[in-house]
A and B are shown apart, each in its own frame.
Chain A
Amino acid sequence: MTAALSVVQPLSTASAASVAPAHIDARNIAVDFVVEGRRQRVLNDISLAVPKGSFVSLIGPSGCGKSTLLKVLAGLITPTEGQVTVDGIAPREAAKRRVIGLAFQEATLLPWKNAVENAAFLLQTADDRVSKADAMAKAAAMLKLVDLEGAERKMPSQLSGGMRQRVAIARALALDPQVLLMDEPFGALDAITREEMSRCLLDIWERTGKTIVLVTHSIDEAVFLSREVHVMGTNPARIVETLPITLPLPRNDDTFAEPAFKTAEKRLRTLLFESKRRPA
C-alpha cells in the first residue's frame, strides 16, 4: 500500500505543478448538498489535473460522488469550495463556448427526430448562427465517425441501445468540443456492445485527440481505455489513489493479454474493495 502510494504520489504532484497547465484543473473541490434541511458533504477536498489530450477514468463504488465530480467539471454543479477550470476558464463558461461535450448513461434522444437530426440538435441549440445545413453536415460526419453511416434517417425507436448511445456521442462530438465528459455512457448496454463501444471510443480518442474523462463502474473498461485511473472512495467521498496506466498505445486485443493489464486490474480491484471495507 505504502509502496504503491509512493509510486503514485510524485506523479499526481508532478501533473498538478507541471509546466504545461492542465486542461482540466480542479483544486480542493468540496460539494455540499442540502438534504431535508441538513448539509451533507458529498465531495471532500478533491484535486484533479487532466493533461490535454489525455484519457482519464473515474472509478469507484456507487455513491462515491464520481458523477457529482463529473457534473462539477461540466459546470452543471457549482462547488461549495475550491476552484475548477476547463481550458483555463470556468466550466460553465467553457460549456457555453462548446469546449465541453457531454454524454450520460441514457442516450436521451428526441423520439420525434431521426439520428442525424438528434446528432445536430445540440449544436443548433448552442449556436443559432450555425445554419441547419452546416449542423446537419457536421452531424452526419460525426455519425460516420461513430460508425453509424447509413443510419442517418432512422428514428431512435428503430435503433438498438448501442446505436442510440453512438448517436448521443456523435451529438456531443458535433459541438467539436476539446473535452469529452462521459458519465457511465455504456452502463445500460450488454457486455458485448459495451466492449464494441469502448473500442469505438478509443478510436475516437486516437483520431481526434480530445481530452476525455470517463466515469465508469467497469475495471476492465477503465484499464483498457485510460492513461490514468482515479479511484474514488466513500465516507467522505475522496480520491483514494491515482493509478497511471502505462500500457502501450495504440491499444487493441493484445492489450488485454499484457501483464501490466493484469497488474493494473488487480490493483484497482484491491483498492475498490478496500475502500469499501474500511470506513475512514
Chain B
Amino acid sequence: MSALDAASAPAPRAVTVRKPLPDAVLALGLIAAVTIAWELAIRLFSVPTFVLPAPSAIIQTLIESRVRLARAAASTAVEISLGFVLAALTGILIALLIVRFERFGRALYPLIVLFQNVPKVALAPIFILWFGFDLAPKIVLIVVIAFFPVAIDMLAGLQSVEPSFVALMQSVGASRGKILMRVRIPHSLPHLMAGLKVAITFSVIGAIVGEFAGANQGLGYVIEFASTQLDTPLIFAALVVVSVLGLAFYYVVELAERLLVPWAPKFDTHRRIA
C-alpha cells in the first residue's frame, strides 16, 4: 500500500485540461436524452399511440413508410428549392431597386412593410384558387413569405456603408452606380447571407403550409392525410423528415456563407459571454 503510494507520489496531481466536447456530440447527446425520457414517459403512463406515439413507434413508421416519405420529401424539397431561390432573387431585386432609385424606394418601402403584415398563411387558399394544385401556388406562397427578410437585410447591408467612405469615393468622382457595384453590394453580402438563413427556414414553412392548403403530394400532404386517418405515428414521422430536411437546407446556406463571405462575423458557440 505504502509502496504504491510512494510510486504514485512523484507524479504531480494531474491538472485535468478537459477538451471541450464537439458541438455535434453535445447536440446528439441532448437529443438522445430527450428521446429516452419521452420513450419512458409513454411506457410509464401508457399513453395511447394516437395521442402521442413513442419514439420507437415513430422510428418503426419511418422505416416502414420510407419509400412514401422519401417521395414526399423529394417533392417538398423541389418546392423549397425553387421557392427559396425565387424569394432570394425577389428580395435582392427589391433591395437593389430601393437603393438605386431613391424616390421609387421611398414609395415602395412602406408598401412592402404593409404587405409583410398580411398573414401570408391566409393567402394559401387564394393561391390554390389562382394557380391550381401543382407546384406554382406553393412557390408563390414561399416567395411571399420568404422574400421579406432577404430584402430587409440586404437593404440594411447596402445602406450601412460608412458615410465617410462614400464621401471618399465621391471625392474622386465615383458615380452612384460605381459605388453600388464596388462597395455597397459586396458590403451587403454578410447581411444578405443572414437574411437568406432566415428565408430558408421560412421557405420550409411556406412549402408545408402550401401543401396543407391543397396538394396531392409532399410532406405537408402526408401530414394532412395522416391526421384524417388518426395515424399519429405517420404525422410524427413526417415531422421528423421535415425537420431533417429543414436542417439540411439551413446548413447548405450556411456553407455557402462560409465560402462566399469568409469575412462575415460568425456565430461562435465557443465564445463565452463574459
- Which residues of A are found within 8 Å of B174, using beta-carbon distances? 125-126
For chains A and B in complex, what number of residue pairs have CB atoms within 8 angstroms? 47
The answer to whether A125 and B164 touch across the interface, beta carbons within 8 angstroms, is no
Q: Is the CB of B167 within 8 A of A76?
A: yes
Q: Are B263 and A111 in contact (CB under 8 A)?
A: yes
Contacts A112-B186, A155-B263, A157-B263; A126 near B172 (Cβ below 8 A): yes
| Contact between chains at B164 and A95 (CB < 8 Å) | no
Q: In the complex, A157 Cα to B187 Cα: how many Å? A: 15
Contact of A125 with B263 in the complex, beta carbons under 8 Å: no
Query: Residue on A with the closest CB to B169?
Result: A125
* Most chain A CB neighbours (cut-off 10 Å) among B164, B168, B187: B168
A126 touches B173 (CB 8 A): yes
Instruction: Please tell me the number of chain A residues within 8 Å of chain B, measured between CB atoms.
Output: 21
Taken residue by residue from 124 to 141, chain A's Cβ proximity to chain B (1 for < 8 Å, 0 otherwise) reads as 011000000000000000
Contact A96 B164 (CB under 8 A): no
Q: Which residues between 157 and 183 of chain B lie within 8 Å of chain A, taking CB atoms? A: 162, 164-165, 167-174, 178, 182-183
Residues of chain B from 30 to 63 with CB closer than 8 A to chain A in the complex:
none
Q: Which of A108, A112, A155 sits near B164, CB closer than 8 Å?
A: A108
Task: Identify which of A23-31, A32-40, A50-58, A99-107 touches chain B.
Answer: A99-107
Query: Cα distance A111–B261 when bound, in Å?
Result: 10
Report the Cα distance A126→B164, complex, angstroms.
16
Chain B residues near A74: list those with CB within 8 A: 171
Is B168's CB under 8 angstroms from A96's CB?
Answer: no
Residue in contact with A125 in the complex, picked from B162, B178, B186, B189, CB distance below 8 Å: B178
Residue of B nearest to A104 (CB): B164
CA distance A98 to B171 in the complex (A): 9
Contact A98 B172 (CB under 8 A): yes
Alpha-carbon gap, A106 to B166, bound state (A):
13
B167 touches A96 (CB 8 A): no
Q: How many residues of B contact A (CB 8 A)?
A: 19
**Which of A98, A106, A112, A125 interacts with B261 by CB under 8 Å?**
A112
Q: Which of A104, A110, A126 contacts B187 (CB 8 A)?
A: A110
- Give the docked Cα–Cα distance between A111 and B189 (Å): 11
| Complex Cα spacing A129 to B186, Å | 22
Asked whether A100 and B162 contact (CB < 8 A) given A110-B186, A125-B178, the answer is no
- Contact string against B for A residues 170-196, beta-carbon threshold 8 Å, 1 for contact and 0 otherwise: 000001000000000000000000000
Q: Which residues of B contact A175 (CB under 8 A)?
A: 172
Determine which of B165, B171, B183 lies in contact with A95 in the assembled complex, contact meaning CB atoms within 8 Å: B171
Q: A75 at the A/B interface (Cβ < 8 Å)? A: yes
Q: Which residue of B lies closest to A76 (CB)?
A: B167
Contact B183 A110 (CB under 8 A): yes
Residue pairs across A and B with Cβ atoms less than 8 A apart, 22 shown, are: A76-B167, A76-B171, A96-B171, A96-B173, A100-B171, A102-B167, A102-B171, A104-B164, A108-B162, A108-B164, A108-B165, A108-B168, A110-B186, A112-B261, A112-B263, A122-B172, A125-B169, A125-B178, A125-B182, A126-B172, A155-B263, A175-B172
Binding site for B on A (CB under 8 A): 71, 74-76, 95-96, 98, 100, 102, 104, 106, 108, 110-112, 122, 125-126, 155, 157, 175
Q: Which residues of B come within 8 Å of A, CB atoms?
A: 162, 164-165, 167-174, 178, 182-183, 186-187, 189, 261, 263
Closest 3 CB pairs of A and B: A126-B172, A96-B173, A108-B165
